[in-house]
């Protein structure tokens, strides 16, 4: 018996076969499932750094950074995250915004999920501050899932002229 090749829904002899809609997302999910066991067999030491990076940061929220004459403004979208789960800090000229979006428990809300595309877990965004940013004058507010961080600029220092008498 000759093996028949299927092209675009038709066999070589012209008989029509069933057509399935192509789903690129499903293709990527299938690829991920096939590759996971391959990476699991790699020696432990080759995966350590990658795994530590992934456990430390699972996703990254989107950020807008703007400036006006008096301050820098950082806006971060953090939907469904409580302000108690967000940390804002400045250390050595680096603004760090971190936190966690907790995964929804199916048992807790009584729903059975068929697809979960929102990202959950820890996040960290960090930015170098400009030289004229004042790390002592920073405020952060969160409302409706949006974090606003305002970093005041240093007051302009004008060169001071002092005459020195030569004796």
The residue assigned the tokens 């959950």 is: 120
Please indicate, yes or no, whether residues 82 and 146 belong to a single structural domain of this protein: yes
Specify the 3-state DSSP secondary structure of 118: coil
Q: Tens digits of per-residue pLDDT, 108-158? A: 677 888 888 888 889 999 999 999 999 999 999 999 999 999 999 998 766
CA distance 134 to 27: 49
Please indicate, yes or no, whether residues 67 and 137 belong to a single structural domain of this protein: yes
CA distance 93 to 109: 42
CA Rg, the chain, in Å?
27
Identify the CA nearest to 100 among candidates 130, 128, 123, 77. Answer: 123
Q: Which two tokens stand for residue 58?
A: 């699972």
**Any domain includes 32:** yes
Provide the CATH number for the domain around residue 85.
Answer: 2.60.40.790
- The CB density around residue 120, as the number of other CB atoms within 10 Å, is 14
CA distance 151 to 138: 5
Identify the CA nearest to 67 among candidates 158, 155, 153. Answer: 153
Tell me how many domains the chain contains. 2
**Is 140 in contact with 71 (CB distance < 8 Å)?**
no
**Any domain includes 161:** no
Q: Tens digits of per-residue pLDDT, 22-64? A: 777 788 877 877 777 666 666 544 444 444 444 456 889 999 9
Please indicate, yes or no, whether residues 131 and 82 belong to a single structural domain of this protein: yes
**Is 100 in contact with 122 (CB distance < 8 Å)?**
yes
Instruction: Domain of residue 49: give its range.
Output: 22-56
**Any domain includes 72:** yes
């Amino acid at each position: 018996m000759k093996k028949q090749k299927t092209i675009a829904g038709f066999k070589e002899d012209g008989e029509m076969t069933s057509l399935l809609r192509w789903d690129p997302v499903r293709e990527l999910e299938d690829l991920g499932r096939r590759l996971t066991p391959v990476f699991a067999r790699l020696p432990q030491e080759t995966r350590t750094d990658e795994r530590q990076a992934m456990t430390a940061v699972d996703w990254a929220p989107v950020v807008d950074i703007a400036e006006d004459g008096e301050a820098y403004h950082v806006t971060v979208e953090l939907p469904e995250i409580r302000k108690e789960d967000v940390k804002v800090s400045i250390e050595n000229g680096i603004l760090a915004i971190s936190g966690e979006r907790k995964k929804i428990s199916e048992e807790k809300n009584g729903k059975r999920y068929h697809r979960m595309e929102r990202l959950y877990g820890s996040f960290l965004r960090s930015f170098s501050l400009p030289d004229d940013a004042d790390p002592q004058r920073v405020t952060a507010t969160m409302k409706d899932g949006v974090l606003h961080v305002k970093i005041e600029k240093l007051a302009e220092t004008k060169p001071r002229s002092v005459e020195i008498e030569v004796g």
